[in-house]
Structures are given as C-alpha cells and as structure tokens.
Amino acid sequence: MNALLTLFALLICALVIFGIPPLVVPFKQDYGTVTVFDAAKAVLLCGAFAGVGGLLIYLQDFNRSFLLKLFVAALLIRLMVGATIFAFHGQAFFGGDALTYDYYGYINLKGWEGESYHKSVADSYIAGGTNPGWGMVYMVSAIYFLVGRNMLAVQFVAAVLGAATAPLVFLCAHHVFKNLRVARLAAFFVAFYPSLVLWSSQGLKDGPIVFFLAFSIMATLKLLDEFNVKHLIGLICAMFCLLSLRFYIFYMISAAVIGAFIISVQTPSGKRFLQQFIVIIMLGFALTYLGVTRYANLHFERFGSLERVQASRLDASKSAQSGFARDVDVSTTQGAISTVPIGLLYLLLAPFPWQLVSLRQSITIPEMVVWWGSVPLLLLGLWFSIRYRLRQISPILIFTVMLSLAYSIFQGNVGTAYRQRSQLLVFYFIFVAVGYVLVLEKREEKKRRQLG
C-alpha cells in the first residue's frame, strides 16, 4: 500500500509539472486578469505543507499508519481534481470566487510591496475586516509572496488542508465514541466524499473553513478532558482564522465551545471548575486582544438585522434558476421561524431530481443518492449520541444545530446550500458512522446468537 501511494504521488507530481508547463494563462473575466504560474513551484509548496501535516500525524501515537495513508490518499485525489480544474480553466464553472481571491490577493500583495494604489483597492475590498472573505485574501497574498502569482499553488494548499481534515475527524470521533470502526468510517467519508473533495481542491475558502472547524472541535474535546496550553493556543488560532474566513461561523463555534465547557461541569469539583473557568477567561482575553470585539461591532452594524438577512436571501433566490422559496419573508422573527422546516429540507437534501436544470447540478446525482441513503443512519447515530454521549458530543451538537438553523433561514439558493453543506457534512458523517456501526453490530450479534 505504501509503495502504491508513493508511485501515485510521483506520477501525479510528474503529470502536473510536465503537463502544465510554466506559461501565462489569461482568464477571461470582467476584470481581465492574467495569471502567471509555475506548476513546479506549486508542487514544491504543496510538498512542504504536506510534509508538515504528515509529520504532525506521525507524532500521533494512535493509528498513525492508517492516518498517514488516509491523508496521502485524500491529498492525491484532491491534487488530481484541482489540477484538472486548473488545466481546463474550470474555476468559473465550479467556483468563481477563486478568481476573485486571486485578483484581490495579488492586488493586496502589491500593496504590501508599497504600491499605494493597489493598497487602496485591496483595503476597499477588505473593508476593515467586514468583508466575509478577507482572511482568504491574506492567505492568497501570503502564498503569492512565497511562489509568485500562482492559482495552482493556492489550490494545492487548500487540498492539503482538506486532506488533513480527515485525520482530525478521525481523532474527534474516536475521542468521543472510543470506537475504531466509527472513527475510521467517518474519516473515510470526509476523505473521499465527492463534494468535500471538490470544494477543497480549489482556491476557495471552504476547505480552510472546514479544516479549522474540525481543528477547533478537536482542541475543545481535548480541553474538556484536561487543561493544556498547546490545545488552548491551537483553539485560539483556529477560531481567529474562522473569524477571518466566515465571521458568523466564528460566533457559532464560540457559542459551541463555551456551551460545551458549561455542560461538561457535571460535578461541583473545585479543580475542574477552576480549569474550565481559566480556559474560558484566557480564550476571551486572547480573542479580545486579537480584535474580536471590534470585528463584532462592525459585523453587527452591517449584518446584524433580519432585514439584511432577508435582502441577502432574496438576492440569492432570484439570482439563479436554482433559487427556492422566493416568496418567504425572514425579516421578522415569525417569518424566520416559519422558514426553518423548508430551509432545513433544502439544506439537507437538495438538489432534488426535479431541480437538475444544469450540468453542475446533474453531476451531483451519484453522491446525493449516497447521502439520501445515509440519512436514516444519521438519525440513528444522532439519537444514540444524544442518549449516551451528550456531554462528549456537546460542542459538535451545539455547532451543527446552530449552523443548520442559520443556513435554513438565510439560504435561498440550491447551489449555495449544496456548497455550504460541506461545513456540516464533516460532523454529520460522524453520526452516520455511528448509525452504521450500530446496525452492523446488531447484525453481528444476531449472527452470533444464531450460531450459538
């Protein structure tokens, strides 16, 4: 298996380097950008990031051989998808935001180099941190600082983060359920599920967001067991990265972390209460120092009203053929609550067969069949987890419930709901794995009884 993965890695790197030689590729967009790239530099940067990820996995004492193989396999499939999208100029088809991040990331880099005009353009886009994607702009700028303007390098870095999410989900699932089958199955889903592969193979912020979400949950689970400065620093950094990538997810993960610490104190143990109190206080001070309160004020002023949510939802529902529930009004509390059932239905199950009006939606059919078949297992695993592991799964449960409800209210487009479902799938798959193992163990027990 190791030899096979090594062979595939060498083959893919060779195809990328020699199949996409250094050249100038025009991307025909409204802003008329021209992207200069070198595939060899993208592969080299990817190798450096993958090496760091592989080293961290190797330092894990538990199941590191399986995790290393899973990480490499997940990375290779993402590299193939990402290189294919790049070679055939499929950014606009699969995720046009990648072109926007490329443009403003390069402009921002020019601003770092002292060009005042470019700095003013980048600052206007970032808007003092109120633009939801300002963190991705800085990430792209940092990559371009290292290897030059190179969209393929951005895609490969996102691929490394996407592949690294699978081992993180494995660690989270095993920490909660202490079951190797559950952990491996959940990690396998995250590593190879088509939409998770697709969104983390491009220069989009979806891959980094999912990675930092999984990292935040893992660090929280570790801190719930014992105080550790390393895990606390990791949690602070991951949460700040989420703030820079998608601010409302930061507030939800913050609520999930604090709620988990409150729920975890079941007994009036002075030592445990003091540890949890110290973690919350240090977390609050660190995030305040990083400017969270300032960002919160800006976000509340710009986005903190149901009227703003209604305007955004209406725009999304009318901007494409895949819009749904155009007549609903979420500008009032009653309207928002009444929208939740239909919103959840579309968030969890769309696109439906009768909504396949384009090629992009039609290619989702195979994975949607798998997902629809997994829903009963999801419900079974969720029931078991709430009944027997409520305290342990509290951060995952609080976050997924809050984000699911939020998306059900302000999502009005099937395509957007399908894309942003990836932020929930990584945790849904843990419950799917639990449900599958429960069914499997029940069948095995039945067979043992019959043999007995």
At residue 76, the pLDDT reads 95
Calculate mean pLDDT across residues 241-249: 87
- Using the Cα atoms of residue 19, residue 21, residue 27 and residue 31 in order, give the sign of their dihedral: positive
Domain boundaries, the chain: 2-214, 305-451
Asked which of 33-47, 135-149, 207-221 is least confident by mean pLDDT, the reply is 33-47
More confident residue, 199 or 337: 199
Q: Is the pLDDT of residue 248 over 90?
A: no
What is the SS3 assignment for 114? coil
Cα pseudo-dihedral 119, 125, 127, 130, rounded to 10: -140
Share of the chain above pLDDT 70, in %: 80
Q: Is the pLDDT of residue 32 over 60?
A: no
More confident residue, 13 or 411: 13
**C-alpha separations of 315 from 64, 135, 341 in Å:** 47, 24, 20
When pLDDT is cut at 50, 70 and 90, the band that residue 271 belongs to is low
Q: Is the pLDDT of residue 294 over 90?
A: no
Q: On the CB side of 20, how many CA atoms lie within 13 Å of its CA?
A: 27
User: Can you tell me the distance from the alpha carbon of 311 to that of 367, in angstroms, rounded to the nearest whole number?
Assistant: 32
Residue 186, token pair as written in the block: 């959940």
Share of the chain above pLDDT 90, in %: 36
User: Can you tell me the distance from the alpha carbon of 421 to that of 401, in angstroms, rounded to the nearest whole number?
Assistant: 13
At residue 190, the pLDDT reads 96
Helix-, strand-, coil-residue percentages of the chain, each rounded to 5? 80, 0, 15
Give the tens place of pLDDT for each residue, 115-128: 888 888 888 888 76
Residues 6+ apart with CB under 8 A from 362: 356
Asked which of 206-210, 272-276, 340-344, 388-392 is least confident by mean pLDDT, the reply is 272-276
Calculate mean pLDDT across residues 129-146: 86
Q: Is the distance from CB of 191 to CB of 237 less than 8 angstroms?
A: no
When pLDDT is cut at 50, 70 and 90, the band that residue 291 belongs to is low
Phi/psi for 374 (5° steps) reads: -85, -15
Give the tens place of pLDDT for each residue, 348-369: 887 777 666 666 666 777 888 8
Instruction: List the one residue out of 270, 401, 290, 414 whose CA is nearest residue 347.
Output: 414
At residue 357, the pLDDT reads 63
At residue 156, the pLDDT reads 96
When pLDDT is cut at 50, 70 and 90, the band that residue 263 belongs to is confident
Mean of pLDDT over the chain: 83
Asked which of 43-52, 289-298, 327-336 is least confident by mean pLDDT, the reply is 289-298
User: Can you tell me the distance from the alpha carbon of 384 to that of 451, in angstroms, rounded to the nearest whole number?
Assistant: 28
